[in-house]
Structure 1
């Protein structure tokens, strides 16, 4: 199975400027940014110290040339004001990757590791105008049916289940044994995904985010998994987000269903684990928060605010394509060349006044404009509950290595730890075979948005399917919960 393409197979229509080769057509001559030395965003130096790279990039101004994979060039927006201008200007910038000239003319190879994260799919992330509004409306209306109280309860139960597993050991990798698994359990519950299908979804999504993985294979595995989930829910709808998307008046096709699920899973798993683990790292290593912890207070919300400002889970993304050649802050941006927004660099722009971030939600971690994250409230709730529960159950947790020895995964888009080893006094856990409840208690009668008809999105309530985890954890945890 090859990398899936949708619509016009990711090839622009005839006459589109993306067909023009380098230096020809409407794009004109190379932009000044393209002629300057590009900083690499995918190597070990960037992973170890992105702030130093951003500082060098700022010497170019608010937009700088970068290389996001071998031979793949882009412009990176590092200024906060300029980032907002890009994010809020659909009349000048498109989200549609079919405009990406380098991919269309073969300059960027189809098997480049960044292509699966940038290629066109008919989802709310990569569309504009009325089509974007239709797809986004289906997502926001379906997510609005999730009861926050039920979601909190499920996160708490899942967190307790995971902590019970490693708590008696007195040590754990909070990334591999907690932060990476918990969002997948929640995703499984929200979307009614059985463990065997979850295996494929997690393998595919993990491979897309991993710079060292076979991106084409990962994309194929992911496509197979979401196709299975869509087919299952067409036959057996339930009280879950997948079924509500299907029942929405937007009347999503199976292909559209698959691609909305991909974008939702991508946003709800890898970035979510990074937010959880980056928050725990900060709380366990920064005296501003550690002192409060020692005094019996857990400033989890302040820590999450700090992470969202300085180490957002998706550090560089929000990819746009100029609709025509234009000059922005003294830099010529060529039609069809990718422009990435550095959410991390924009948030730490020296031009921003003050350094008090606790309670300040003006960061760009959730993006801004028409494409701002539609799930930021549940995402923050999941992270906050996960961190609070861990520190409540294991209050004497400390890093097992110095904070400077923690390693970060390589890649241009995310800010992700490779591991988060900790130690703590072992806890005693009573033997139990309880499983997380399978009964869905999501809100089936929300206040819908203007695009939703309540009668058309209502589904019969039935038990959700089993749980799982990253790669084979979906199946292994399901067996473990059942005492097998």
Structure 2
């Protein structure tokens, strides 16, 4: 039976020969720094070698948690009412034990949104998200991705080289989400500028202010001039609370749908470029996009370690005792590759076998949209640049440090220079019986009316710190 340490470094009672704690103080494994980022699977393997299902880890110096590497244990926690998503169960946080400038705090502290709530409160907030996402037209979404992809590709096509992370994967989801959220062009441009700068770590205070004010302006504009877009649908939903909670809903959707999406696009593109299993397109065969995406989700999910939970009371599960007050970090990456479950050996496992989308009440509500964006982005890239290839040896690529994500720093490529004019994208087939979709008009587009002047609202800088300061991965 394993007894992980609590967040104060105190060891709970351990059975003799406990593989996690041993004797004396438990060994705490750091999940930060370049060593972990370079080869996290080596760390998971070492932890798994102890025979334990859960392990004491540090998310940053002085911030402790319990990392679950067992597929069965992680899945049961996701499904069990004995574990909560509400960070107000976190003893260190509630006692003021975390500094305000903690790098992991923005990803873990409580906000009034679906991600950090349970029970009826969660169901109400989640229903808003489900209803809103259900209105998104996947045919229009594909068109948005193709248009954004062509704009970005045209910017580097004549040069014969690009960094697919900075120049493509990290910008494309932002542009698409601006369209989905109905941002007027002025506000949309500011959000792209501010979020891109935040992800890059450029002038975070200024960038944070740009994005915060941009979202406030967007909500004010859509309150006055609603349209057929995600922001308007959130604002008009009968179950959506008003005020600051609206901003938290939008930030949650944008944060969860942009940075992880960028990393999924980048890592899946790397698979096609460097993994012999997916390199068929170099022989004139279309790249196996779906296979590469599913491979990333199973082996290197963009959110590698997250799904933070808290035991409502001291709980024993699969011979592990989880104390109250300590963050329980579910390692989707390690669980997906747990040999005890046979997933790692099953090369034919479908995407439903892995936990990259989480499971239970908090399972990702935007799987269809996320897969559509990633697939279309990669498809468009290789269609426009069929001879794209890595510009460096794969072994020299660096990964951004951080305990939660799996994210490339850069992805340098080369290709034959091409004209800036995008090849015609053709029509996207509309719903059955309607033929091809016509010109991109109507729902989910920039309104023709310019936005009103910024309203006088006191910006809550913490709203953006919640997601974006950590999403850029510079801790």
In structure 2, the residue matched to 1:405 is: 396
1:417 and 1:167 mapped to 2: Cα distance?
22
Select which of 252, 258, 261 maps to 1:272: 261
Q: CA deviation at 1:408?
A: 0.5
Select which of 101, 104, 114 maps to 2:104: 114
Given the superposition, is the C-alpha separation of residues 408 and 319 from structure 1 closer, same or farther in structure 2, using an over 3 Å criterion? same
Select which of 402, 407, 417 maps to 2:408: 417
Residues 346, 364 of structure 1: 8 Å contact kept: yes
In structure 2, the residue matched to 1:93 is: 83
SS of the aligned residue for 1:351 comes to helix
Given the superposition, is the C-alpha separation of residues 292 and 284 from structure 1 closer, same or farther in structure 2, using an over 3 Å criterion? same
2:113 and 2:207 mapped to 1: Cα distance?
19
Given the superposition, is the C-alpha separation of residues 218 and 92 from structure 1 closer, same or farther in structure 2, using an over 3 Å criterion? farther
1:199 and 1:393 mapped to 2: Cα distance?
25
In structure 2, the residue matched to 1:123 is: 113
In structure 1, the residue matched to 2:462 is: none
Given the superposition, is the C-alpha separation of residues 193 and 297 from structure 1 closer, same or farther in structure 2, using an over 3 Å criterion? same
SS of the aligned residue for 1:327 comes to strand
1:44-83 to 2 correspondences below 5 Å: 44-60=34-50, 61-83=52-74
Offset from partner CA, 1:336-367 (integer Å, 9 cap, x none): 21001111111111123233146443111111
1:204 and 1:161 mapped to 2: Cα distance?
19
Residues 189, 465 of structure 1: 8 Å contact kept: no
Q: CA deviation at 1:295?
A: 4.1
1:352 and 1:216 mapped to 2: Cα distance?
45
SS of the aligned residue for 1:340 comes to strand
In structure 2, the residue matched to 1:320 is: 309
In structure 2, the residue matched to 1:441 is: 443
The answer to which of 313-322 and 159-168 deviates more is 159-168
TM-score between the two structures when normalised by the length of structure 2: 0.82
Say whether 1:364 aligns with 2:351.
no
SS of the aligned residue for 1:74 comes to strand
In structure 1, the residue matched to 2:339 is: 350
Q: CA deviation at 1:407?
A: 0.7
1:351 and 1:130 mapped to 2: Cα distance?
35
1:53 and 1:329 mapped to 2: Cα distance?
22
SS of the aligned residue for 1:275 comes to helix
Offset from partner CA, 1:265-316 (integer Å, 9 cap, x none): 1111100000000000000001111135424132100010100001111111
Given the superposition, is the C-alpha separation of residues 389 and 356 from structure 1 closer, same or farther in structure 2, using an over 3 Å criterion? same
Residues 245, 257 of structure 1: 8 Å contact kept: yes
SS of the aligned residue for 2:340 comes to coil
1:464 and 1:286 mapped to 2: Cα distance?
47
1:21 and 1:170 mapped to 2: Cα distance?
50
1:65-214 to 2 correspondences below 5 Å: 65-89=56-80, 91-194=81-184, 197-198=187-188, 201=191
In structure 2, the residue matched to 1:457 is: none
1:319 and 1:138 mapped to 2: Cα distance?
22
Residues 391, 414 of structure 2: 8 Å contact kept: yes
2:139 and 2:30 mapped to 1: Cα distance?
43
1:316 and 1:303 mapped to 2: Cα distance?
20
Select which of 311, 332, 335 maps to 2:324: 335
SS of the aligned residue for 1:68 comes to strand
Given the superposition, is the C-alpha separation of residues 205 and 123 from structure 1 closer, same or farther in structure 2, using an over 3 Å criterion? farther
Residues 63, 329 of structure 1: 8 Å contact kept: no
Residues 7, 326 of structure 2: 8 Å contact kept: no
Q: CA deviation at 1:71?
A: 0.7
1:75 and 1:208 mapped to 2: Cα distance?
29
1:463 and 1:213 mapped to 2: Cα distance?
31
- Structure 2, unpaired ranges of 5+: 1-5, 15-19, 424-438, 452-475
Residues 40, 66 of structure 1: 8 Å contact kept: yes
1:297 and 1:29 mapped to 2: Cα distance?
54
Given the superposition, is the C-alpha separation of residues 364 and 215 from structure 1 closer, same or farther in structure 2, using an over 3 Å criterion? farther
2:70 and 2:290 mapped to 1: Cα distance?
26
1:464 and 1:71 mapped to 2: Cα distance?
51
SS of the aligned residue for 1:154 comes to helix
Residues 305, 405 of structure 2: 8 Å contact kept: yes
Q: CA deviation at 1:164?
A: 1.6
1:440 and 1:179 mapped to 2: Cα distance?
27
The answer to which of 31-40 and 341-350 deviates more is 31-40
Q: CA deviation at 1:216?
A: 8.4
Offset from partner CA, 1:121-164 (integer Å, 9 cap, x none): 10010000111111111111011111111111111121112112
1:203-282 to 2 correspondences below 5 Å: 222-282=211-271
Count matched residues. Answer: 421
The answer to which of 67-76 and 200-209 deviates more is 200-209
Q: CA deviation at 1:120?
A: 0.6
Residues 273, 389 of structure 2: 8 Å contact kept: yes
SS of the aligned residue for 1:125 comes to helix
